[in-house]
Structure 1
Amino acid sequence: MSKIFTAKDVGGYKDEQSGMYIIIDSGVYDITNFLDEHPGGAKILKRMAGKNATKSFWKYHGKNVLEKYGGKLRVGDLAETAKL
């Protein structure tokens, strides 16, 4: 069973000491050890750490990128929140 995170939980993972997580769609990804591998550089990942990166991710990446790296980086799912 996948771990469930709230957006607030993910917000606590925004530096290399605690780990760096991002949200893409409904998935939560640990990018801490991916910083040096990211073709666009670590700077943008550090800027997005602890946040919902969905819009930025899909602006620059296709589905194949998430298929390639998502499996090894995904640590859980985003909790569903009530829509008003």
Structure 2
Amino acid sequence: MSEQFTPTQVSTHSTVETGLYIIIDGSVYALDKFVDEHPGGAKILKRVGGKDASKQFWKYHNEGVLKKYGEKLKVGVVKEEAKL
């Protein structure tokens, strides 16, 4: 079973030094080791670090990208935060 993260937990991983996590369609990906390989450059990944990047991802990629890299980079899924 994959690890579960709240959106707040993902937001703490917003830099390469803290793991550079992003959310795509409810899955959490760690991009700190991929940032230098990204064909679009590191800048865009650093801009969306710690956030839900689904909209930006699908604007420039197709599902083949997730098939190729997804399992290697996926670290978990998003769980909903409890509302008080």
Matched length: 82
What is the CA-CA distance between 1:18 and the residue it aligns to? 1.3
TM-score w.r.t. length of structure 2 = 0.93
Q: Tell me the TM-score normalized by structure 1.
A: 0.93
Q: CA RMSD in A?
A: 1.2
Deviations 1:47-76 (A, max 9, x none): 000000000000000000011000100000
- Contact persistence 2:12–2:50 (CA under 8 A): yes
| Aligned residue in 1 for 2:34 | 34
Structure 1: 5+ residue stretches without partners? none
- Does the alignment pair 1:56 with 2:56? yes
Structure 2: stretches of 5+ with no match in the other structure: none
Q: Distance in 2 between matches of 1:56 and 1:62?
A: 11
Identity, in percent, stands at 56
For 1:67-82, list aligned pairs within 5 A.
67-80=67-80
Deviation at 1:26, TM superposition (A): 1.2
Moved over 2 A (4+): none
Deviation (angstroms), 1:16: 1.8
